[in-house]
Structure 1
């Protein structure tokens, strides 16, 4: 019964390295989403529903319910999986990915959703400048963000644009089904997240009847800034949710 960790945007599995080093269990996998350090299948359009379908197919191949964890878009996508295929999820945990009709996309997301400005942004993207913008705009830790941005290639740029443009009304579309999540749930959230305010973490926790909402003294990238605390929260959650 493995634990599966799903990253967000513009991340890869590497965003979980600090958390994984601090976990005591050995059955932990961090997957790369298609287009994010992982080739996109033929005909894969990189919309939000396609990512959910891809996760469901991969999880079905595991053959047993998993401890599913997501951050940022990983939080959004895994919560959707847990709501439509609860049979695949033993426990769920996620953070800094709002699923709410009240949520207003942050400025960078809005730019990516614009068919003209988004293309212009990606065409002119300079890794060093992009990393600095993320560090300054999201109050993010510099070194891991710089490492993260080094892996942003043309496929990831295109995937980001496609994903965000498919998700303009994601909150209103996916929020109602959160009530169908049956897995014991944990929400962890950075209290200083400028893109996804903490109120949406508490709101998600209420929607999922979460056993805990862990508020961390962190920005958006809790898994980079507070890996030990995230790992400890996950292990406590898994122990409680599975009786281990």
Structure 2
């Protein structure tokens, strides 16, 4: 069994390090193009390009994998699972509420989606090189609930490429992902799924259980944890995933 992890925004694959260290078996954490890694030629960082990129990465593995996504990674994983183009053994996501038809993007997302304002944010944030400053991306991650040690690690990868990738990705999902993908976000029959719901996640406060039911996925609350549950309590996250993988069938 190989487990493949997909991170979110503005993050890098290091977000999974602690959880992966607590797992038995092989795992790989992919790094999204533009997030501390180069973008392929002609890649413009739209949500559908990231889906195609992820499907291409998964084809390189020998056999179906257990696919896990967080934040934007979760949205990409749900889309890949619903398309059924690539075979999966199982899939797991958080922030399922973002896939609801009535979801309204959070304040930072709306800023990034706004022409002019998003570019101003990028310029101002890129000017801050001090990882301890509250104005840099590391400081913004800390303000959102990421512990300092993890915020500094991920903040080191923030550059012009990541900034432009963030703006393009969010602008490709206006007004919300359901408006673009909703018709295909029905019960996934190709592989069993799991929706993780950290109960203190401010970005996932909507009908996550209803989205899980619509996708035909198992629903698993993570009591007392927030958006970065894999950093707050990697042991609890690993245990929830391994319990699902031990008996993934619905």
User: What TM-score results when the alignment is normalised by the length of structure 2?
Assistant: 0.89
In structure 2, the residue matched to 1:104 is 104
Q: Confirm or deny that 1:174 pairs with 2:181.
A: yes
More displaced stretch, 97-106 vs 70-79? 97-106
In the alignment, the residues of structure 2 paired with residue 176 and residue 216 of structure 1 have an alpha-carbon distance, to the nearest angstrom, of: 31
What per-residue deviation string (whole Å, max 9, x for no partner) do you get for residues 36-95 of structure 1?
Answer: 122100000100000000011111222421111000000000110000026421101011
In the alignment, the residues of structure 2 paired with residue 175 and residue 144 of structure 1 have an alpha-carbon distance, to the nearest angstrom, of: 34
In structure 2, the residue matched to 1:32 is 31
- Does structure 2 retain, via aligned residues, the 8 Å contact 1:80–1:178? yes
Q: Confirm or deny that 1:145 pairs with 2:151.
A: yes
In structure 2, the residue matched to 1:16 is 16
Which of 194, 210, 215 pairs up with 2:202?
Answer: 194
Q: Confirm or deny that 1:121 pairs with 2:128.
A: no
Secondary structure of the structure 2 residue equivalent to 1:187 = strand
What per-residue deviation string (whole Å, max 9, x for no partner) do you get for residues 132-189 of structure 1?
Answer: 33333x3333331232222211111111111001011322222332214221111112
- Does structure 2 retain, via aligned residues, the 8 Å contact 1:190–1:217? yes
In the alignment, the residues of structure 2 paired with residue 30 and residue 217 of structure 1 have an alpha-carbon distance, to the nearest angstrom, of: 25
RMSD: 1.9
In structure 1, the residue matched to 2:167 is 161
- Does structure 1 retain, via aligned residues, the 8 Å contact 2:7–2:72? yes
In structure 2, the residue matched to 1:42 is 41
In structure 2, runs of 5+ residues without a counterpart are: none
More displaced stretch, 71-80 vs 224-233? 224-233
In the alignment, the residues of structure 2 paired with residue 3 and residue 13 of structure 1 have an alpha-carbon distance, to the nearest angstrom, of: 13
Aligned residues: 240
- Which is richer in helix? 1
In the alignment, the residues of structure 1 paired with residue 160 and residue 112 of structure 2 have an alpha-carbon distance, to the nearest angstrom, of: 14
In the alignment, the residues of structure 1 paired with residue 203 and residue 174 of structure 2 have an alpha-carbon distance, to the nearest angstrom, of: 15
Deviation of the 1:204 alpha carbon: 2.4
In the alignment, the residues of structure 2 paired with residue 61 and residue 133 of structure 1 have an alpha-carbon distance, to the nearest angstrom, of: 35
- Does structure 2 retain, via aligned residues, the 8 Å contact 1:218–1:225? yes
- Does structure 2 retain, via aligned residues, the 8 Å contact 1:189–1:222? no
In structure 2, the residue matched to 1:79 is 78
Q: Confirm or deny that 1:61 pairs with 2:60.
A: yes
In the alignment, the residues of structure 1 paired with residue 225 and residue 158 of structure 2 have an alpha-carbon distance, to the nearest angstrom, of: 24
User: What TM-score results when the alignment is normalised by the length of structure 1?
Assistant: 0.91
Secondary structure of the structure 2 residue equivalent to 1:135 = helix
In structure 1, runs of 5+ residues without a counterpart are: none
In the alignment, the residues of structure 1 paired with residue 105 and residue 214 of structure 2 have an alpha-carbon distance, to the nearest angstrom, of: 20
More displaced stretch, 10-19 vs 211-220? 211-220
- Does structure 2 retain, via aligned residues, the 8 Å contact 1:84–1:180? no
